[in-house]
């Protein structure tokens, strides 16, 4: 039916995809595990199968193989040798009306998840390139150079013989330094988790007030625009992940939402500061308006 697909059979018949099947079963609570590679992980399993078949020696070779695979499966569908849905140019499943309600509900959960800092944790046994020398890990150094940042990475494993001679009781300097950094970050995270929900409530009210003022007085507070842009980033990210959660893979986690957390903090601070600035400007305007009136009344009295 498809010679190209047949080339991938040794991979899928082996134990190689077990990691994908196990994580899929664990994610969706399938007990006992049925051994199926679920949609969210199938693309990675397919990529590994193609690589094992020897078609990743170059980009052009990989593209040619995928094209041949698609053409052969498409021909089988057209010839009614396979039961297929209509052709599609997306990985998303066919749209169903039920997706709308599910996405809206998941979107709300996404926002609550972010506002409460739920699921945000600090790695407990890291090596930090902020305080440690990552020169012994050249591939990490290359990655950090590319993204222009410092990240926590998994500590390098020590030689088994060295571990046997040293024992587990010894804490090495990089572990102590990394634990100190992790402890400080946990304190910061706890502070965010305690304060952010309340501060975000104030921010939403202040943002609404700035919006009403902008409409009634046709005067826009600059920080209102900053808060609006930050809110757009948060809402778009949460909406996309909510839809992905409904149609493909579980996406309610701090890893997928991490690009939106800075924007959430920007929105909170911009809205609160903008609300304070606007309230102060309104109060000052009223005071300035009252001064000429008082002066005029005193002149009339004289």
In this prediction, residue 289 carries a pLDDT of 55
The pTM (predicted TM-score) of the whole model is 0.72
More confident residue, 243 or 140: 243
Please state the separation of Cα 42 from the chain's center in Å.
20
Q: What is the pLDDT of residue 166?
A: 45
pLDDT per position as a tens digit, 247-294? 888 899 988 999 999 999 999 999 999 999 988 877 776 655 555 555
pLDDT band at 18 (very low <50, low <70, confident <90, very high): confident
Going by C-alpha positions, the residue among 271, 268, 238 that lies closest to residue 114 is 238
pLDDT at position 7 is: 94
What pLDDT score was predicted for residue 158? 47
Element of type H or E holding 258? none
Task: Dump pLDDT digits (tens) for 79-90.
Answer: 989 999 888 888
Tens of pLDDT, residues 123-151: 666 555 655 555 555 566 666 666 665 55
* Residue 41: pLDDT band with limits 50, 70, 90: confident
User: In which region does residue 239 sit, left (phi positive, over 0), alpha (psi from -120 to 50) or beta (all else)?
Assistant: alpha
Containing H/E element for 152?
strand 152-153
**Beta-bridge partner residues of 128:** 152
User: Residue 188 and residue 237: Cα distance in Å, rounded?
Assistant: 24
Whether pLDDT at 162 is above 50: no
Burial letters 194-212, b for 16+ CB under 10 A, else e: eebeebbeebbebbebbee
């Amino acid at each position: 039916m498809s010679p190209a697909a047949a080339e991938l059979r040794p991979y899928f018949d082996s134990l190689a995809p077990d990691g994908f099947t196990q994580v899929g079963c664990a994610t969706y609570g399938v007990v006992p595990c049925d051994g199926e590679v679920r949609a969210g992980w199938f693309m990675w399993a397919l990529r590994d199968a193609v690589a094992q078949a020897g078609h990743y020696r170059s980009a052009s070779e990989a593209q040619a193989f995928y094209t041949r695979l698609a053409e052969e499966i498409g021909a089988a569908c057209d010839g009614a040798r396979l039961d297929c849905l209509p052709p599609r140019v997306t990985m998303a499943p066919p749209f169903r009306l039920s997706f709308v309600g599910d996405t809206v509900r998941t979107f709300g959960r996404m926002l609550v998840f972010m506002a409460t800092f739920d699921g945000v944790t600090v790695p407990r046994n890291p090596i930090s390139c902020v305080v440690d020398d990552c020169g012994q890990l050249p591939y990490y150094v290359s990655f950090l150079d590319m993204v222009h940042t410092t990240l926590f990475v998994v500590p390098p494993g020590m030689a088994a013989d060295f571990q046997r001679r040293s024992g587990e009781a010894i804490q090495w300097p990089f572990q102590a330094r990394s634990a100190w950094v992790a402890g400080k970050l946990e304190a910061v995270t706890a502070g965010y988790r305690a304060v952010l929900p309340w501060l975000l409530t104030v921010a939403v009210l202040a943002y609404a007030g700035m919006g009403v003022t902008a409409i009634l007085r046709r005067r826009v507070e600059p920080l209102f625009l900053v808060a609006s842009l930050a809110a757009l980033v948060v809402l778009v990210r949460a909406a996309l992940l909510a839809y992905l959660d409904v149609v493909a893979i579980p996406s309610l986690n701090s890893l997928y939402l991490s690009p939106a957390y800075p924007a959430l903090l920007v929105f909170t601070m911009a809205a609160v500061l903008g609300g304070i600035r606007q309230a102060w400007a309104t109060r000052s305007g009223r005071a300035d308006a009252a001064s000429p009136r008082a002066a005029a009344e005193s002149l009339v009295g004289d």
